[in-house]
Structure formats: C-alpha cells, structure tokens
Amino acid sequence: MLNRTGRVSVIDDISVPSGGGILPRGLSVRALGNAHAGPFEFDVPAGACLVITGMSGAGKSVLLRMMADLDPHQGDVALDGRFCSAMPAHRWRRQVVYLPAEPGWWSDSVLDHIPDDVLTRGLMAKAGLRAGVLNDPVHRLSTGERQRLALVRGLRLAPRALLMDEPCSALDEATTLMVEAMMREVMTGGTAIVLVSHDSAQAMRMADLRRELANGHFVGVDS
Ligand SMILES: Nc1ncnc2c1ncn2[C@@H]1O[C@H](COP(=O)(O)OP(=O)(O)OP(=O)(O)O)[C@@H](O)[C@H]1O
C-alpha cells in the first residue's frame, strides 16, 4: 500500500502476539502511562512517521522515554508484534532507538562513542557533518553537530523504530532537510518513526500521522 507521500506502508503484514489480538508491523502502544502522561493507545506502522506536537511541558519527552522503556510506566509497547516486556531491555533499546533532545555522551572523545568506519563516514556525509568532528572533543562540537552525531550513532544500529525528540532543533533549514532525507530513507526500509517537533513545516513534510499532546494526553483526532 502506498501512503500519500508515495512510500510503502507495510500495514498488511501482521503479527499475532502470544497474548492474543492482531498487531500491525511497527510500533503498537497499549495502555502506556505513568503519573505524568497517558494512558496512550496508538500504532505507528512500519515505514510510517507519527509526528507529535504540543506545548512545552505537555509530556512529549515522557511519552518517548516510556516507549524506550527508560521511565517507569504501566502498559506496554510492541515492535512487530513482540512486546517490550517480553524481551531484555538492551535488545529492546537496540531495536527501538531513542534520540533525546540533548544526547548523552559518556566521555569527551567522539571516537569512544562512534567508530571511524565506512558506515559512519557514509552517514556523516548524508548528515552534512565534516569528517573532522570524529577527532574533536565532544565539548567543542556545536549543538547541531552533537545532534547529528547522535543520529549517526543511532542509525548505525539499523533500528526498527526511531523515537526522535526535536532532532533538528539546532539545525538550519538546509541541514534539517538533509536529516529529513535520512529519516525518509530509513522509513523506506520499514523503520517506524515517532518524531517530536515544534516545527510545523517539518510536521507537514514528515507526518503520515499526527497527534497533539496537552497535559499528558492526546487532544483532537488523528489526521
Ligand atoms: N520523573 C519526573 N518527576 C516529576 N516530574 C516529571 C518527571 N518527568 C516528567 N515530569 C514532568 O512532566 C511534564 C512533562 O515533561 P516533558 O519533558 O515530557 O515535556 P515536553 O512536552 O517534552 O516539553 P518540552 O517541549 O519543553 O521538551 C513536565 O512538567 C515535567 O516536569
């Protein structure tokens, strides 16, 4: 099936979880919530992008962190019909990659986080990153360079789902379009994306599905 952007949606390829019911390929969020947000119930088919908007403090990051199994929560999330609760956390986070608004670095050397190889160089070129950033200390990089390096680090894992929190907030328009092209490329390969964005033009360009969050809950109807 082709969606309105001409990409293939794999929504007719379904999985049956052990608990019963039929889940689509991609992400399936079921009764997910905690004290700050939810409960949420929605699907993001493989190869589709759900854009989440909402005011500061609405609960967007909390939702992504619960989906990544980083914040305590009730309910569950499935990827291709397999629930997070039924697999080790490290396996979930390798397939469902969370890119926070402020990426974390555990040392000041970029090469401690990302190897210098063909895959990295190829992704860096697509992201418009100069080769020299690999040898720079993390603290000297610009915010936008750190954001794109975090994307490169995440995409090296070939994730089945990407949870992206304002990935282009520090980028100029031309570089934003490069990052969006990278997102479309992985979507073509079947990766589901949940994108939190304050940029309405980006939301228009990227969204197959859109939801707005306010006070920890979705408002309005799916579009
Ligand atoms: N562990 C926590 N303990 C207490 N309050 C929390 C916790 N986690 C989130 N909150 C609160 O939940 C609310 C939603 O936070 P969240 O970071 O999800 O907002 P957001 O929609 O991503 O905002 P922004 O657009 O500014 O990033 C905030 O008021 C935040 O302080």
In the chain, domain spans: 14-214
For residue 220, the model assigns a pLDDT of 78
For residue 13, the model assigns a pLDDT of 38
How many of the other CB atoms lie within 10 Å of CB of 151?
25
In the Cβ-directed half-sphere of 62, how many Cα atoms lie within 13 Å?
22
Distance CA 14, CA 27 (A): 12
Q: Which H or E element spans position 210?
A: strand 209-214
For residue 8, the model assigns a pLDDT of 36
Q: What's the angle, vertex CA 154, arms to CA 151 and CA 159, rounded to 5?
A: 125
b/e 58-90 (16+ beta carbons within 10 angstroms → b): bbbbbbbbbbbbeeebebbbbbbbbbbeeeeee
Pocket test for ligand 1, best of 62, 99, 217 (most atoms within 8 A of CB): 62
Residue of 99, 100, 52, 23 lying closest to 217 (CA atoms): 52
Largest CA distance in the chain: 51
For residue 21, the model assigns a pLDDT of 62
Whole-prediction pTM value?
0.89
Distance CA 125, CA 141 (A): 16
User: What are 221's strand-pairing partners?
Assistant: none
Chain mean position to CA 31: 20
b/e 96-108 (16+ beta carbons within 10 angstroms → b): bbbbbbebebeee
Bridging pattern class, strands 40-45 and 26-33: antiparallel
- The pLDDT tens digits along the chain (223 residues) read 333 333 333 333 334 444 456 777 999 999 999 999 999 999 999 999 999 999 999 999 999 999 999 999 999 999 999 999 999 999 999 999 999 998 999 899 999 999 999 999 999 999 999 989 999 999 999 999 999 999 999 999 999 999 999 999 999 999 999 999 999 999 999 999 999 999 999 999 999 999 999 999 999 755 4
Separation of 219 CA from ligand 1 center, angstroms? Answer: 17
Distance CA 146, CA 131 (A): 13
**Residue reference for tokens 């990426």:** 103
Q: Topology of domain 14-214, per CATH?
A: Rossmann fold (3.40.50)
Distance CA 167, CA 193 (A): 12
Separation of 132 CA from ligand 1 center, angstroms? Answer: 35
DSSP 19: T
Which protein residue has the closest C-alpha to ligand 1 atom 17? 61
64 φ/ψ angles, rounded to the nearest 5 degrees: -60, -40
Which protein residue has the closest C-alpha to ligand 1 atom 26? 56
Which protein residue has the closest C-alpha to ligand 1 atom 4? 36
The complex's ipTM? Answer: 0.93
